[in-house]
């Protein structure tokens, strides 16, 4: 009876895992569904990208045009404000498009825990609870309301005192009484910027849900296989999850590049003045997307220690018997050609080599480099402010070849 209930539970979990998604839920998702901007499979992507981007960008364009600040009329007119165009016409589309990639790839990742029989039967209920908890957090109305409050409080304060340019712009002018917003600036501060910040915070929240889920699963004593060819006990499928979130790294890089470009072109700064900010962004992305995978390192390390001891003992016993049979017994020796003893000796030795080379950190060097390149790549055009294109290309080619 217990076996039947366990089988049914596994089948139910496989069905639930097939429906696992970090993006198909929450008040905003339901609003987009009712507005026919998405469906249950993250479809209608281009309609969603165009609608959200134009809602944030087009009114700013029209208001600044009416105010005569489209190409002139301010130290930083609308057309030449790189930060606003990149933020709403590039970063927002990337963040929205990333939903489809995360939706399609992460479902298959979660299914692997059961398909590879990593979860013991006794822990299936705990695994199911972790899934349900992730669903509840994803669908939480309270969570998105808190994000909205943060956007209209801390988000606007951050923009006002940290991100704002120290010069007259199409959205605001400095007066003796303080900052004075234009009509375009009112839409910018009240609608456009909150849309962008909400989408960004919503992604951070989703990554937090994913991280919490991984933490809960890592607390289960998994049935790792130290001799698995992936050198990660069967968990190598987790090490590739960063690919799904790579667009977010690129979006952060584009936002940083646009912000620095404004300061270079309008405040006389140089890209070398922002080494700390660039390095901090790279480290932030690495920690955001790769650090949650480290939750499994203690189990991997323990599995490797146990396997080295157990397989070491097995190899010792096998090799001693092999030695006694073939070299110490004094009996007539069988032909070694095609003898299964020889094959078992090689196979067992290969298994022990796999155990010894097992990794305990499910983060590969390629992942770190890939995310760093995705984050920094949008900043490369800013290097043209320091050297001619021809010289820049020569330096890049010298690094590659």
**DSSP letters of 261-318?**
HHHHHHH---GGGGHHHHHHHHHHHHHHHHGGGGGGHHHHHHHHHHHHHHHHHHHHHH
In a domain, 182, yes or no: yes
**Is 342 in contact with 336 (CB distance < 8 Å)?**
yes
Reported confidence tier of residue 3, pLDDT bands at 50, 70, 90: very low
Percent over 90 (pLDDT), the chain? 33
* Mean pLDDT computed over every residue of the chain: 83
Counting DSSP H helices and E strands in the chain, the numbers are 17, 2
In a domain, 59, yes or no: yes
pLDDT at 20 over 70: yes
- The confidence score (pLDDT) of residue 61 equals 93
Confidence band for 35, pLDDT divided at 50, 70 and 90: confident
* Two structure tokens written together for 394: 């020569």
Q: 239 falls in which pLDDT band (50, 70, 90)?
A: confident
Residue 331 is predicted with a pLDDT of 60
pLDDT in tens, 76-102: 888 888 889 999 999 999 999 999 889
- How many Cα atoms are found within 13 Å in the side-chain-facing hemisphere of 66? 10
d(C-alpha 370, C-alpha 365), whole Å: 9
**Per-residue pLDDT at 4:** 45
Integer Cα distance of 341 and 321 in angstroms: 10
Which stretch of 116-130, 137-151, 212-226, 258-272 has the lowest confidence by average pLDDT? 258-272
Report which of 315, 300, 294 is spatially closest to residue 231, judged by C-alpha positions.
Answer: 300
- What proportion of the chain, given as a percentage, has pLDDT over 70? 81
- Does 32 fall in a domain? yes
Q: Residue 161: inside a domain, yes or no?
A: yes
Residues in Cβ contact with 226 at an 8 Å cutoff, skipping those fewer than 6 apart: 233, 303, 304, 306, 307, 311, 354, 355, 358
**What pLDDT shows up at residue 385?**
67
Q: Say what the pLDDT of residue 398 is.
A: 65
350-370: average pLDDT: 82
pLDDT at 2: 47
| Residue 393 in this model has a pLDDT that exceeds 80 | no
Predicted confidence (pLDDT) at residue 185 exceeds the cutoff of 80? yes
Query: How big is the CA angle at 115 (ends 111 and 117), to the nearest 5 degrees?
Result: 120
Instruction: Tell me the per-residue pLDDT of 37-77, one tens digit each, with 9 for 90 and over.
Output: 888 766 788 999 999 999 999 999 999 999 888 888 888 88
Q: Please say if the pLDDT value at position 1 is more than 50.
A: no
Q: Is position 47 within any domain?
A: yes
Query: Is 17 within the bounds of a domain?
Result: yes
174 strand-pairing partners: 179
Mean pLDDT is lowest, of 261-265, 278-282, 298-302, for 261-265
Which pLDDT tens digit goes with each residue over 301-351? 998 888 888 777 776 776 666 666 666 666 655 655 555 555 665 666 667
pLDDT at position 338 is: 52
Distance CA 215, CA 309 (A): 27
| 338 within domain boundaries | no
Radius of gyration of the chain (CA): 28
> Terminus-to-terminus CA distance in the chain, angstroms?
65
Q: Which domain holds residue 137?
A: 2-302+361-400
Whether residue 348 lies inside any domain: the answer is: no
What domain count does the chain have? 1
pLDDT band at 356 (very low <50, low <70, confident <90, very high): confident
CB 324 within 8 A of CB 247: no
pLDDT tens per residue across span 127-171:
989 988 998 999 999 999 999 999 999 888 888 777 777 777 888
């Amino acid at each position: 009876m217990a076996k039947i209930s366990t089988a049914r539970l596994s089948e139910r979990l496989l069905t639930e895992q097939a429906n696992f998604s970090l993006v198909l839920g929450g008040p905003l998702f339901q609003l987009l569904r009712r507005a026919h901007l998405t469906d249950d499979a993250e479809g209608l992507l281009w309609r969603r990208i165009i609608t959200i981007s134009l809602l944030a960008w087009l009114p700013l364009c029209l208001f600044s045009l009416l105010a005569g600040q489209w190409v002139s009329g301010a130290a930083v007119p609308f057309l030449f404000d790189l930060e606003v165009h990149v933020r709403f016409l590039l970063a927002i589309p990337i963040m929205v498009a990333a939903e489809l990639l995360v939706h399609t790839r992460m479902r298959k990742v979660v299914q692997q825990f059961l398909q590879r029989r990593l979860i013991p039967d006794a822990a299936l209920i705990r695994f199911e609870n972790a899934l349900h908890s992730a669903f509840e957090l994803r669908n939480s109305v309270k969570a998105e309301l808190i994000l909205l409050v943060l956007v209209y409080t801390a988000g606007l304060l951050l923009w006002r005192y940290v991100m704002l340019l120290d010069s007259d712009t199409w959205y605001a002018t400095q007066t003796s009484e303080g900052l004075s917003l234009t009509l375009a600036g009112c839409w910018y501060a009240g609608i456009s910027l909150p849309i962008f910040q909400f989408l960004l915070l919503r992604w951070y929240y989703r990554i937090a849900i994913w991280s919490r889920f991984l933490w809960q699963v890592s607390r289960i004593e998994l049935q790792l296989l130290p001799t698995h060819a992936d050198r990660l006990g069967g968990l190598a499928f987790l090490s590739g999850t960063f690919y799904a979130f790579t667009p977010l790294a690129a979006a952060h890089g584009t936002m940083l590049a646009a912000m620095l470009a404004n300061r270079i072109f309008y405040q006389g700064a140089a890209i070398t003045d922002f080494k700390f900010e660039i390095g901090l962004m790279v480290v932030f992305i690495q920690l955001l997307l790769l650090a949650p995978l480290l939750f499994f390192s203690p189990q991997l390390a323990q599995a490797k220690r146990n396997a080295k001891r157990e397989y070491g003992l097995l190899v010792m016993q096998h090799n001693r018997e092999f030695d006694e049979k073939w070299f110490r017994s004094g009996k007539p020796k069988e032909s070694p050609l095609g003898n299964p003893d020889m094959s078992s000796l090689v196979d067992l030795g290969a298994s022990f080599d796999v155990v010894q080379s097992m990794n305990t950190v499910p983060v590969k060097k390629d992942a770190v480099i890939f995310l760093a390149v995705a984050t920094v790549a949008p900043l490369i055009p800013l290097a043209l402010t320091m050297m001619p294109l021809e010289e820049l290309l020569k330096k890049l080619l010298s690094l590659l070849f």
